[in-house]
Amino acid sequence: MLTLDGKTKNRIKTLSLPTENTKRMDIQAEKYSLIEYITKVKDVSLIEKLKEFVKANERDFWSDLTEAQQKEIRQGMKELDQGEKSEYESIMAKHR
């Protein structure tokens, strides 16, 4: 029976292909590393740049909608404000 010492086992682990779980854990480790880095930053301008970066990369679903979809949503909100209501099934039938 072949036995491996701890050092050899660790070397074999590093040579193996990453699995989906390993990739997920790596991204988690990267996130924690960034959090740790950010907590140590003392430069206010760097924090402001990070905030701008985050804000610029946030996605708003509204901008992903077509103009027609936005128009229909606005119309629906206007009708609701005026007390007009539609049955769920009639709305769903229109979009199926």
Same structural domain, 67 and 36: no
What's the confidence (pLDDT) of residue 1? 46
Task: Tell me if 93 is assigned to some domain.
Answer: yes
In a domain, 96, yes or no: yes
Is 12 a domain residue?
no
Q: Are 58 and 64 in contact (CB under 8 A)?
A: no
Task: Work out the average pLDDT over 58-71.
Answer: 87
pLDDT in tens, 13-41: 555 555 666 667 788 889 999 999 999 99
Distances (CA, A) of 44 to 54, 58, 71: 15, 21, 41
54 and 67, same domain (yes or no): no
Query: Residue 28 belongs to what domain range?
Result: 19-58
